[in-house]
Amino acid sequence: MTIKEIIEKIVIIIFIILAIIIGYQIIKSIFGGTWTTENIIIAGMGMILTGLFVMVGFLMNQSKSIGVLEERTKNIGESLTKLGSDFKEHLREKHKSY
């Protein structure tokens, strides 16, 4: 496991813990609990910020995967072009021999 993967896992765990705590405090606040509305809003904004970090990591990973995929597709296209030109050359040579 790389450091990047460990950091991603830690951020996801923090996001889940934060969601559980905020959900608990919202339910507690509905039934006359401890947190005020301002604290719940600030916690919600913190949760949104944590979610953004998780999404950015995911999107960066996807862009790397897509870049590799595009490179592979480009290589396959070049290989098919070379194969087609080799085949045309083979056919020309075959027709010349007749």
What pLDDT does residue 86 have? 84
User: What pTM value is reported for the model?
Assistant: 0.44
Number of domains in the chain: 1
What pLDDT does residue 98 have? 61
- The amino acid at residue 22 is I
CB 41 within 8 A of CB 77: no
What pLDDT does residue 30 have? 75
Kindly give the residue spans of alpha helices, DSSP state H, lying in the chain.
3-30, 37-97
Give phi and psi for 33, each to the nearest 5: -90, -155
3-class DSSP state of 33: coil
Which domain does 49 fall in, by range? 3-97
The four Cα atoms 80, 86, 88, 94 give a dihedral, to 10 degrees, of -150
Tens-binned pLDDT, residue by residue, of the chain (98 aa)? 788 788 878 888 888 888 888 888 778 877 777 767 777 788 888 878 877 877 777 777 777 777 665 666 667 777 778 888 888 888 888 777 66
